[in-house]
Structure 1
Amino acid sequence: MSISGRLNHAYDEAKGNKWLRYFAVFCRVVLALGFIPSGIVKVMGERFASGLSVNHPLGHYLEALHRTEYYYTFIGISQLLIAVLLLIPRTALLGALMYFPIILNICILAYAVRFEGTRITTLMLLANIFLLCWDYNRIKHILPFKQTKEDDYLAREKPVSHKFPSLFFGGVFVMIAAVIIINHFMYDIRPGNSRIECTNGCAGNSDPKACLEFCGCIHDQGKQLHECLNEYDKAKE
């Protein structure tokens, strides 16, 4: 059996399961809800994450983005449009395709500035990837796999299965737990979303004094993240 044939076989088994269909709808709704509030804020011209200090690494970015005028509004309109596309079954794939580059960019940005929202953006990215896999039968023709007659046979619609896919949902649970745990131990220090949040984390830091200096470097002096990290490393030494 070809690679495409094996993928089609696994896909058809999943596509015919009612629980996975419910999960796909759940992912569409959750991702749409993730874009609607932020889209409305941008369309109204308000600064996104207004509670985030301008001195925060992500705050620098959001403040600059807010000052781009109609580009900022364009992003908001795009997010609202994508949310609507996701909620409509016929246009859900288009919404998922448009969602992917945006959430990938947001996810990488969150990790780059050590934002506290890295966990949620990672889960949103994984949910988006699931939706793209869910519509594999519609995008497989642009993938670098040779299509055969066997693939067409396997792609035929099968009866709906009511069996609960415990292995799949067990994997989802493990993946969520892994994202949370890995993010918890990924960085020795984070700037937090505010000075208080940053300093509150210093109690459990290996060098509380160096941690407090790092928080002041970020939230009081407004220096770049890499500068403050360099000073933090030197203070620890």
Structure 2
Amino acid sequence: MHGRKYHSYPGGEYLLPNDEREMERLDLQHELFKRTLDGRLHVALLPSTHRVLDMGTGTGIWAMEFADRNPMAVVYGIDLSPIQPNWVPPNCKFQIDNLSLPWEFDVKFDFIHGRSLFHSFSDPLHIFREAFRTLADGGILEIQDVIFDFRSPDDSLKGSALEEWSKKLEEAFESRGIDLTCVSSYRNYFEEVGFEDIQQEEFAWPVGTWPKARGHVS
């Protein structure tokens, strides 16, 4: 469609492409997350971690790096598209599946990770419910996501082309049943499904050429 490739998984709600251009963007996004977190792959302090689930793994870059850094863990990456490489760490496994449906894993996970999921599901609360049900006792769910839409501390975005683009994008996703502003409700979702010791951190991602610090690259 329009020169781009998309997944063909039945019932999948992910609307973005899965071609080479998108894979490059996802890997670049991974580097941005790492720089924001000073090279870390996650914020949570993890106890002994045996089984890890990466929701919406994309190119699998996070799952593979986590597997390399934690050779005693077994990492499962789940996605609608089979765009992950063939050569992966021996403790990393990829599976094609639709997380919008009931999860049917035959194991419990110690750590479930998700990143940039805000545009992927029409019912994000379902993801929280299934994650809670699928975690082992004492397990941890960490979601790194983007608060939409763009914000400016000095109101310089008001009336701008970027603000207009954001509104159009939000309307387009809403027409497909996806709320791009759902990240603001994540804390409520954590509480509603039964999570305890909920922690939240916010980081600023500058857009454009003005940021100078390495950790503030856009």
- Using the size of structure 2 for normalisation, the TM-score is 0.27
- Using the size of structure 1 for normalisation, the TM-score is 0.26
Bigger Rg, which one: 1
Greater helix share, structure number: 1
Greater strand share, structure number: 2
Q: Which has the higher contact order (CA 8 A, sep 6+)?
A: 1
